Amino acid sequence: MTARSVCFLLLAPLLATGCGSDEAAPPPGDPEKGRAIIRAYGCGSCHVIPGIPGADGRTGPSLERIAKRVYLAGVLPNTPDDMARWIREPETVDPRTAMPNMGVSESDARDITAYLYTRK
Ligand code: HEC
């Protein structure tokens, strides 16, 4: 057997399963839209958010480098899906949280999440 065919045999199962997980894939939203949406919802009245003019609120934690946070609100693993869920319905994650449900739509939450994941 040639080295090349050994290599093919080793790689074939990986290729068949899509070559790894899609966990590293960027969140599906549009970060530029997200930036505008964050301003429209006024998230900056409670959060410091780098890149958003006037976002200097102190009620909630700073969202600086939020992409690197391991847990969101101390309880949710920091994945794009969980961040979007937190943004849409924080009270279902933690009924006592001070962050209000702001009626964010699913697509707005995806765009916001895409923007926040640019904060590394
Ligand atoms: C009335 C104040 C308030 C507003 C408005 C608000 N938040 Fe929050 N937010 C909070 C508080 C307080 C927490 C901390 C929650 C906790 O730890 O239980 C939080 C937590 C978060 C977290 C998790 C941060 C971390 O360090 O784990 C994210 C992400 C977040 N907010 C995004 C948003 C976005 C996006 C908006 C706008 C749609 C928004 N927030 C609007 C108060 C607010």
The model's pTM is 0.84
Separation of CA 17 and ligand 1 centre (Å): 37
**Residue 14 counted as domain residue:** no
pLDDT tens column, 36-51:
999 999 999 999 999 9
Residue 28 beta carbon below 6 angstroms from any ligand 1 atom = no
**Residue 60 counted as domain residue:** yes
Q: In the structure, what pLDDT confidence band is assigned to residue 11 with cuts at 50, 70 and 90?
A: low
pLDDT of residue 53 exceeding 70: yes
**Residue 105 counted as domain residue:** yes
Residue 88 beta carbon below 6 angstroms from any ligand 1 atom = no
Phi-psi region of 18 (alpha: psi -120 to 50; beta: other; left: phi over 0): left
| CA distance readout (Å), 39 to 16, 32, 55, 113, 119 | 43, 11, 8, 13, 16
How many domains, the chain?
1
Task: Tell me which H or E stretch contains 93.
Answer: helix 90-93
pLDDT tens column, 92-107:
999 999 999 999 999 9
- Measured between alpha carbons, how far is 54 from 42 in angstroms, rounded to an integer? 9
Residue 52 beta carbon below 6 angstroms from any ligand 1 atom = no
Separation of CA 20 and ligand 1 centre (Å): 32
pLDDT score at 18 = 47
**Residue 43 counted as domain residue:** yes
Average pLDDT rounded to a whole number, residues 42-63:
97
CA atoms within 13 A on the CB side of 90: 14
Separation of CA 85 and ligand 1 centre (Å): 12
The range of the structural domain enclosing residue 65 comes to 28-116
- Measured between alpha carbons, how far is 83 from 66 in angstroms, rounded to an integer? 10
Residue 20 beta carbon below 6 angstroms from any ligand 1 atom = no
Residue 46 beta carbon below 6 angstroms from any ligand 1 atom = yes
8 Å CB contact between 73 and 90? yes
CATH number of the domain to which 49 belongs: 1.10.760.10
